[in-house]
Amino acid sequence: MSDFKPEVGFEYTIGDGKGNMKHKLRITEVQPGKKLVHTFENITQPGFSHVTFELFDEGQQTRFLLTHTGLETFPLETPGYTRKNFEDGWGYLFVTSLPAYLEKNS
């Protein structure tokens, strides 16, 4: 997403790539270099949560913490909304997709 702006109030949508799920996200808090919080709202089914990304300096390294609250508001009996599906999705994004993107664009 080339037009992403880490600013409070910025809204954007994401999908599962298959046209099955669509989510609207709105940034609600920004602490540059430290914290980004956004809502995570399902457009086609129930579900509203918050996702927080935090960075912590730890000497020569940086610790990353992702917290996703409000999962119980989603239809968890639906396969796409199981806790494992959320864990797998975030894992894929940060363990596979982001490193590949950074390597390709560095």
Question: Which pLDDT value is given to residue 69?
Answer: 94
Question: Which pLDDT value is given to residue 22?
Answer: 80
pLDDT band (50, 70, 90) for residue 19? low
Whether 92 shows a pLDDT value over 80: the answer reads yes
> Whose CA is closest to 38, among 1, 74, 68, 79?
68
Question: Which pLDDT value is given to residue 67?
Answer: 96
Q: What would the pLDDT profile of 8-17 be if each residue is shown by its tens digit? A: 999 998 876 6
What pTM was estimated for this model as a whole?
A: 0.82
Q: What would the pLDDT profile of 35-78 be if each residue is shown by its tens digit? A: 999 999 988 888 899 999 999 999 999 999 999 999 899 887 88
The residues spanned by each domain of the chain are 11-100
- DSSP state letters, 42-104: ESSSS-EEEEEEEEEEETTEEEEEEEEE-GGGS-TTSGGGSHHHHHHHHHIIIIIIHHHHHHH
Q: Which CATH superfamily is domain 11-100 in?
A: START domain (3.30.530.20)
